[in-house]
Chain A
């Protein structure tokens, strides 16, 4: 079984940058794990260490039951799909897909059969004799996938494989990659900075920030119980509202001077907190008790975003689109389950 285990894996580049702080996690067999985070947070570095393209500074990495820290990329039994596809420009599609097998010394007939099989799976059969330059972006992406599949790897690695495609194709390929991975049952690590990709594709998400793992969890956990203000504001669009507040330690959080909200929390911290509220979890309601000063409306089609002020702080509400004219001060209903409390200094969830 090909689980992947990282044990306090750390990366320091020769120039002294600590791109990945000691990180430990385990990916069970057949799971697709998405690593997400802002640019420069170390996603690629982590993935490339698993691929063997980057040395591991400290810690141990195992694929299956084998420690692979010092194993050559070619012998780790992995396949990687790159952002710019990295197809060999002078080789035909068939040669591109078969190159790895050829280097392993497989007989030609067997390579042919495998390439054909992969091409059939990916609807590439008619393009086998073309060069990459004669293909569209989506087709190139498929060839890159094909090159990964034919090797029957234990582990797929994807580094932002869809970010060069237009939005429509991206959605389509997202689904294709996901279903292919399920069908083949191969463990996969997938890097992206697109949170929609992360939410839709992942069995589990790893959120990275500045080389540090902020949270590991199922997409629903990440969304419903973000472990820190960073995760809260990074995952979800529009991002979660974060308001400075103070918590009295037994059931009330005060926003400004004259607004106190009841909250179910067993936090043992009292004092400065950050109050997080997702824009889509608050409702406009005449019976609501919280005043909201509306400044600006953004139409999104299915819904609209109301930007304004709550207790003097920037606040956004995602309201259903019912064409009713809105202006001035509105009343909001803030259900208790929509309130997330974070530590005022560390930003950790309380």
Chain B
């Protein structure tokens, strides 16, 4: 039958033209048929795969796979890293368990750090205002500015060899060198003022403490080198009713640290300073500390009213603090009243307290202090994007990633993750001096310069980062102290030559000294520090300061910094 129909249709076609209707019917048949073929589904699948492989999407080339030991250079905590490299590309990152401080832990940011160099916000060109420019133009503009007046150089990661280049340049040029310090580093500034020992050379001897009282510092939440405290707490305190190490978290909200601590003392937001004074009063009143200590002017009753804790609760807290010693108080920031508690408890320079770890460290000048007259400001890539210098000057800002709107006149692309040689001085808060070297493991795919390289190219008399690192390695070797943590732990006097010491450091080993417990430093407060922290809860929203991190580093674990509004108002 079909044959005759087809024959008729063909015969009919001889007489009749192909109509629009025929075309539509044919199209409908073809469309229905097409749906019954693999064409639509396969093309969809292939096109989606093709879109994942566009030529501008970086693809690691195939080649020898190796694992290199190095350090995370994204912030001054300097955690130990193992980097999986395929044909010279970093394709994976893991923590290094041989690092004596970070002990294999990393923050969430670092786990994807090898991908940051390909981030869409990567700064790829020199920018002047809103237009593209060149390195040559930036150099001549900076050279001109530095001839015309003082240059302020701002660093976010002090103590590196690169920092030394920046500082030397500022000194030679007649400008000044400033530091944007991490909250961990800022917390030591009261001790620097009282004892003259630079904040950057102080650390907490957590490993020997038996009670840690944290005033809002997110100790188990990425504070300091993330692995150090989380591992210590897991080993000696977590989940026990009477742990070897007691962690008391004084916090206005149930932060992650508060939730995991031995005890959480809930106080009103912004009342940390008042509670510190009250606690000092309670310690003195109950003769729990030497009687010659300065007495806070704030009474226990006033402190109790501000903190939202009963007087009896504060007295009980004071007894709890000294029940298991050594006791150590950690502040979230540079609050002198909280710092003074450590003086009262005799924690300075003692086992389980605050100890100096390095010598020859200079005090830093905070970038936030008045800058005065400057012709130009040069900002290193380690400075957090949020930092904006309060000065009318030409701003040259180095950054690996573009953090959005900025006041900078010049934006200069800096090396990204592991694209530049750098050394890693002691992380803030550490009780022992450490030193590591992170070579440039990956090649930058764009034209980048660090601030130190930029300055060295302008002034050939400046020592290069590589030279400084070399001489630092030699100095360390000559001291014949401490251990080298590589594949094995070796005492430095077992290392045969300076050359082999350097080689091991360049391969990712880390040198660590001993905590300087013997170097007790004297500190006698004549009077209790004046209250500097606001007690009114209304400032909670404006008081937040970003921690030092590159613009993309929105670290999840720092969410303790995202404070809830106070739940009970005075």
The answer to whether A and B come from one shared complex is no
Listed in ascending order, the chain A residues whose CB lies under 8 Å from chain B are none
Listed in ascending order, the chain B residues whose CB lies under 8 Å from chain A are none
